[in-house]
Structure 1
């Protein structure tokens, strides 16, 4: 019962994390223009993995898609690949989790379901690590440009999509770890109990030996000792 509850909690965590990671791809605000040191703000620049936009003071936004994938900066291409890989891994991990959980009726025997659930946990951990790496790589580029005194172009700050991605990646890693640990607890076999019989005292043993019924049931004839036997 405890392992089933742990699997259910892990499933909810991983699915929630996967949904958050997936929602970062269409989110607009991966980075937002900084207003540090600016007195009057006439426009706000923001961008994501697919386009860059500007919003003027009247609220009108104009966006421009990146014209060429091969002409993009290397960090944007890497972030795209990592986030898409995280979404794909989360999809396969959710399928494995549904098959391997105890509360479902597919997957075969308990040992087979345990292996599938453990595989689902590892896949979700990889999903979380991919998303965490992609968001961290993008954030590292923003912070390095922001704190670089020689960088004179438009500086940006961290957008909401990065924090959503970090939260989703953390949930995937935590849920996947719970999957793996719950399966490890199931594989522990219960220890056999052994009855411990306390040895009888010397007095009780002698009393039993002096009992006439023991001499009758015993096949070994009693020994007679001479009066000088203990001398």
Structure 2
């Protein structure tokens, strides 16, 4: 029951994160700056310059907006093209991750055995994590470009100092939601995908096996049986047969009479 609740929580959180990222690609005001508004007359003249991934716009004090769409795909500014590519790559990975996680969740009846579903869920978590990292890289690239211009000491004439808009912060929150959902997915199946091997000492020889019986206890790194001999030879044999078996395998010293014969 706990595993199912964790998986449902991961599904809801990761889906909300991808919804945030998808919305930021269509939102305006990725960067914005304001000119004027200092008074000096009866009419305060203010102008806003803002941009997103697809256009560059200007809005005056009368709320009239004029926009210029970015040119064709291969002539866009390099950093804008990089942000677009990283976001598209992240959304593609997120789509495949969502499908794999939906099939591999315990509450769905799609898929085969439980172990196969766990493997699909773990693969979906990896896709989610890679997509979230790709989205974070895209937003960080855009922030780095804006920060380099805003905090520069020398700017060319006509270059504006922009501030970050709301879509950047919404996208970063969505990316962290995606990573958190991937962690929730991975926690529920990590023990099944990667079981721990334990060292077992059987008559002086060490073998590796996973502990499954409750009759074994952990002592000095080794698992020892509560019944010394019966657990290794099976419950079908009696104690006398076990002792006879051990007496046959125990080496004995030959006497001189036996050696003479």
For this structure pair, what is the TM-score category when the shorter chain's length is used for normalisation?
A: 0.7 to 0.9
What does 1:1-231 align with in structure 2 at a 5 Å threshold? 1-34=1-34, 39=38, 42-152=46-156, 153-187=159-193, 188=195, 191-194=212-215
CA distance in 2, matches of 1:32, 1:74: 19
CA distance in 2, matches of 1:11, 1:77: 30
In structure 2, the CA distance between the partners of 1:17 and 1:197, relative to structure 1 (3 Å rule), is closer
CA distance in 1, matches of 2:181, 2:188: 11
Residue deviations 1:84-135 (CA, integer Å, cap 9, x gap): 1111111111111110000000011101100000011011101111110001
Secondary structure, aligned partner of 1:49:
coil
Secondary structure, aligned partner of 1:64:
strand
Cα distance, 1:38 vs. partner? Answer: 6.9
Residue deviations 1:54-97 (CA, integer Å, cap 9, x gap): 11001111111012322222111100000111111111111111
Structure with greater strand share of residues:
2
Secondary structure, aligned partner of 2:59:
strand
Q: What do you get for the CA RMSD once the two structures are aligned? A: 2.2
TM-score (norm 1): 0.79
Cα distance, 1:33 vs. partner? Answer: 1.1
Higher relative contact order (CA 8 A, sep 6+): 1
CA distance in 1, matches of 2:141, 2:16: 23
Gaps of 5+ in 1: 199-231
CA distance in 2, matches of 1:16, 1:190: 40
CA distance in 2, matches of 1:110, 1:54: 56
> Partner of 2:200 in structure 1?
none
Gaps of 5+ in 2: 40-44, 196-209, 217-224, 228-261
TM-score (norm 2): 0.71
What is the number of equivalent residue pairs in this alignment? 198
CA distance in 2, matches of 1:124, 1:58: 44
